[in-house]
Amino acid sequence: MSGTATYLGIQGMQPFVSLNANLPSGKSALFGNAVNARMDPDLVDVSTFGEGYNVGPSLGFNFPITGSLFITTSVGYTWHGNFTRETESPAFPAGTDPQVIAELTPLAPTQTISPGQNVAYTAAVNYQIGRLTAGLTGSTTWETATAIDRIKSFQPGLRYLLALQSSFTWPEKFGRTSLSASFAHSNRNRVKLFLDEINAFGLVTEFLDSNSNVYRVGLEHLFPVGDLQIGPTGSVLYRDRNGYNADTLQFVPPKTRWSAGLLAQFAPNAAMTLNARFERVWTHENENPATDGGKIDPIAGGVIPSSTVPAISGAGWQTSFGLNIKM
């Protein structure tokens, strides 16, 4: 749910306020093999299975320099409510004594997650000249620590995002071509570490940068056919190395992801739009080797047990449908 109010009575400056809310109804604790349903956020747009309530107020100013040149700034605060998830427990090797498993397995089936709160600053320049429209947006997101059972466990580093959106409308009925590109970078995270007997656990900046950079370029073209617009779409995503996805706090492997398909939009009237997208997706993940069954971990100060993950290539179909109604 969201709502935005903009004041238009000032020449050259349009302040706006917005309130957004997320009222989830999904199941946040998944047990057994159901955990596999949580997918890579590079492959699916929504990788979350249930969460707490979200409330996000925003305040901003739009500065129209000319009729089609805008400089826009905004700041938003996102409050994330608590939710529960299944308790972490290690995987036991085959043949482990059930009595040992019972003793080592935590008795509490769920734990409480208190997600960090966000503050995001955004600045954008948008311009239209003739048939060309272009916009460049930059944002910085700061987040407080996430706590598990009231113990601060993780705090993502400052996140930077740069996004370019442009489109060109061809003459007559040759349609519109859109190009989008984005780049995301995060500073080092703060992670839970045993400090000493007095302070116990605390958050410290990680020694090894566990974030990765993500690059994405997308290109699409829509031909108008009456009320229908249809055309090809394609994109390339490149994640340079293993790292956290700063959006979802998930550990995501490096990969190259290509997609190509068909995009369609149908507007039977001015208030309604139907969208459909069919894409073929190809992914490739490089090998992640572990020499002699272990990897050097600077935080642990030694080698930790690990397994080599071989190169993985995959292909699949991705479809999505949408309905927009203007009231």
Partner 1 sequence: MTRFLQLCGVAATASSILLPLGASAQNNCTAGTAANGECVNASMAASVVQTAVIFSQSKISLTAYPVLPSLDRLYRYPNELNPSQLPRTPVGPGPFFE
Site for partner 1, residues 98 to 127, rule: CB under 8 A:
101-102, 104-106, 109, 113, 115, 118, 120-122, 124, 126
- Compute CA 238 distance to the chain's CA centroid, rounded to the nearest angstrom: 14
CA dihedral 85, 90, 93, 96 (to 10 degrees): -90
Q: Does 153 bind partner 1 (CB under 8 A)?
A: yes
Q: Which of residues 204-233 bind partner 1 (CB under 8 A)?
A: 210
Beta strand 151-155 pairing with 54-66: unpaired
Run of H or E including 98: helix 98-104
The answer to whether 278 contacts partner 1 (rule: CB under 8 A) is no
Distance of CA 104 to the CA centre of its chain: 34
CB half-sphere exposure, 138, CA atoms < 13 A: 5
Burial class of residue 100 (count of CB atoms within 10 Å of its CB; 0-12, 13-18, 19+): exposed
Q: Which is nearer to partner 1, 113 or 263 (CB)?
A: 113
Minimum gap (Å) between residue 14 Cβ and partner 1: 6
Task: Considering the complex, state which of residue 12 and residue 302 has its C-beta at the smaller distance from partner 1.
Answer: 12
CB of 36 to partner 1, least distance (A): 6
Q: Is 250 in the site for partner 1 (CB under 8 A)?
A: yes
C-beta of 198: minimal distance to partner 1 in Å?
24
CB atoms within 10 A of CB 42: 20
Closest contact distance (angstroms) between CB of 178 and partner 1 is 13
- Scanning 88-96, 166-174, 232-240, 275-283 for contacts with partner 1 by CB under 8 A, the matching segment is 88-96
Q: Which of 42, 83, 212, 233 binds partner 1 (CB under 8 A)?
A: 83
Q: Which two tokens stand for residue 232?
A: 């090809």
Nearer to partner 1, 58 or 235 (CB): 58
Kindly tell me which residue out of 43, 112, 144, 146 binds partner 1, with binding defined by CB under 8 A: 146
Secondary structure of residue 8 in the 3-state scheme = coil
Q: Tell me how far apart the alpha carbons of residues 320 and 34 are, in angstroms, rounded to a whole number.
A: 23
Q: Dihedral angle at the C-alpha atoms of 19, 20, 21, 22, nearest 10 degrees?
A: 180
Stretch that binds partner 1, among 58-66, 166-174, 259-267, 269-277 (CB under 8 A): 58-66
How many residues touch partner 1 under the rule CB under 8 A: the total is: 99
Interacting positions 154-193 with partner 1 (CB under 8 A): 154, 161, 163, 191
Residue 87 binding partner 1, by CB under 8 A: yes
